[in-house]
Structure 1
Amino acid sequence: MFDTLSDKLDAALKNVKGEGRINELNIAETMREVRRALLDADVNYQVAKDFTNKVKETVTDEKVLQAVNPGQQFVKAIHDELVYLLGDVHVDLNKAKKPPTVILVAGLQGAGKTTFVGKLALFLKAKGRSPLVAAADVYRPAAVDQLETLAAQVKVPVFSIRDAAGVPEKDAVRVAREAVAEAKRTGRDTVLIDTAGRLHVDEAMMEEVVAIKRETDPDEILFVVDAMTGQDAVNTAKAFNDQLDVDGVVLTKLDGDTRGGAALSIRSVVEKPIKFASMGEKLDALTEFYPDRMAQRILGMGDVVSFVEKAQEQFDEEEAEKLQRKFRTQDFDLQDFYDQLQKIKNMGSLKDLLGMIPGVGRAVKELDVDDDAFRHIEALIQSMTPFERANPDKLNGSRRRRVAQGAGLEVQDVNALLKQFREMKKMMKTMSKLQGKGRAVDPTQLLTGR
């Protein structure tokens, strides 16, 4: 995501990073390269032009011209303008004064609406909400079945209407209307309406979506757009907004081969906030959109806040303190190690997590970071008995052979795991001692942000 744009902006800024002062010559040269980088990323031409004009205006300020470090001044100016371009501030979902909150999801066919509905249901459930999803995409073959499958995975009820033969109801407006009534009857506080998409914006589709809006009076209308479609996504979003007056935009497939132009253009052209970014097929691969964090990632500054938030979701304070005590007393065993691996995996893609750390993103960009990198370690620990996990020093030769065979690996793999584990415990013991002397921070604090 944004890798090409990040590289080109970095290259453009090299023109001034080595300069002693900002002057008209290096301003003009840098702005030309920045505009070219934006256009190559498929950013709307007028948006790119306005962007560079505003940055130029900022850096030609008299105070900035006298700055000792022009590179930093340019980075700050571009960062601030990127934040503004992406929406300036994060905007939450609207919420009804009286439940249920009705969220209407619209977009073109293939944009990922149904998958997004499943992701949003899981997201809201994690926030303590009790969503109901409505299967109002009544045209696409197996759309209702797909939604039911996704909803079952996140343990959220689906409202659909089928006849005696199991054929879904073809009246999408009726499905949406009765779904809202069902939510009121069953005490559900949120209704997510999955609507039908088309290959292009056509009159019949728009009339149906408008009718659903009129019938259900949604509190939030989200337009789901495939970020890989570039400027077409912006044009489509504008057409939908003209008809529906959407409340927010959802960018999907940001993990694909996208140049980022849609994300950078859509806020300015449609004048509606981006509320979510969806990356990957996993149902937990949904993040709220924060313009400042995205701007930092584009400029290679990382995203520490999002990293800490993900860690806090997995590590609570009580558990962190318990883990810290185990480090100090050397009671940390292989079961604890396995549990921590699961929490790290639940935080998301390893490459994405590394990309949130300042200075690391570009370094790992070309690396093939395998999300299953811990798989062989997990297999080995799973092959051990509870006694062996708690007492790894008791793993003699015959036990090691049995563990290796159970995991489908070699004895040397067991030896390597045990060696790494011993070295890790030794390092943790040293760090705990240093912390007691006020010279270090416990590693769990890095994970929990506390």
Structure 2
Amino acid sequence: MKFYSTNNKEHKVSLKEAVIKGLAPDQGLYMPERIPTLPADFIDQLPERSFQEIGYEVIGAIFGEDLSKEQIKELVDHTLAFDAPLVKVEEEVYTLELFHGPTLAFKDFGARFCSKLMSLLVKDEKVRVLVATSGDTGSAVANGFYKVPGVEVIILYPSGKVSTLQEKQFTTLGENITALEVDGVFDDCQRMVKQAFLDKDLNESMLLTSANSINIARWIPQCLYYFYAYSRLPKGHEKVVFSVPSGNFGNIAAGMLAERMGLPIETFVAATNVNKIVPDFLKGVPFRPRPSLQTISNSMDVGNPSNFYRLLDLYGDESKLKEMVKGFFFDDATTREAMATVKAAAGYLMDPHGAVAYLGLKAYMEEHPGYTGVFLETAHPGKFGDVVEAVHQEKVTLPERLAAFLDGQKKTKLMANDYQEFKTYLRSKK
């Protein structure tokens, strides 16, 4: 399978180059040259299959030309080493809990897949993984690549704009993990990483790659839990809508990939906080990146979502995209209110990101009755303890492995919002 750039379909590379480069030279995102359609009988038999069995089939369809069956099994088993339970919250409304991995966030799936795939593809080379994070990406990638031989991870994050617990998860590890605390916002961190990938001089002297959702090895495996969620819905559902809390839009793009492969999802809801660039676009406003605004759902504080161009590419044109995806946005006050209401009515504790997805799902279902809805709960509420505890006026019990991070010693290097300073730092790592 070859992979092309979203900016130029004639530019095609191998799986290894797409994974190692992360971003195409023309700043496009890599996409598979064809999206395989899974057999109808596979879709019909989803309820009888385990998470891993679903993974072997789906990953095999995409990567089977480049990897052996044994490698695909190794990849999938390493990635799906924990569950993603579907939980009923209210009538016809379910949540997909994606926080049962090592760092209690959905990005554990992609980070584990990415680290394992890189270890299979890269031999006897020193690789530096550059990551911009608004929260959970940093912790998932840091833990996914921790102590992986031949790989150094450098994480850029906006100072003062991630939760304390998120920060501790990627600043206390040491070893092959370095955290750069940038005086800016997430979009500044993302811009600096992209500049590094496109810097010819820098790339001639070192092997740089990404583990953000711009990388196909981080992005593609996220489609697996859409298949799994669908397989665990009660029988008899005819119209299914998935609501996805969205920041950089890789997660919802992975769901759209699952739909393109044959999973019968009727509609997607792109639910955001007040960083509403894509919801505005879906309502007819031209796509126009803008500075991000800080909110309580900080992992979605993105003003220039990279994966927007994958959304367009998956459906070929704006009209089809706007038909398949509906956008809603919510402010912090509405998000807090939803957290309180659902806890009181259903006894279910949501984090701020899951609450935004819940609100988007309910807004869509009120306008379109007859659907079964699934909203993605992408992080454990304890990762946003200050916000959750303030809403409910009660202590959130942290899982033991999460609480352990709080005792770690933070180790970071302060950095200005300046690419040349970042480049000088990278060159010093040779």
Q: TM-score, normalised by structure 1?
A: 0.21
Q: Which has the higher contact order (CA 8 A, sep 6+)?
A: 2
Larger fraction in helix: 1
Structure number with the higher strand fraction is: 2
Q: TM-score, normalised by structure 2?
A: 0.22
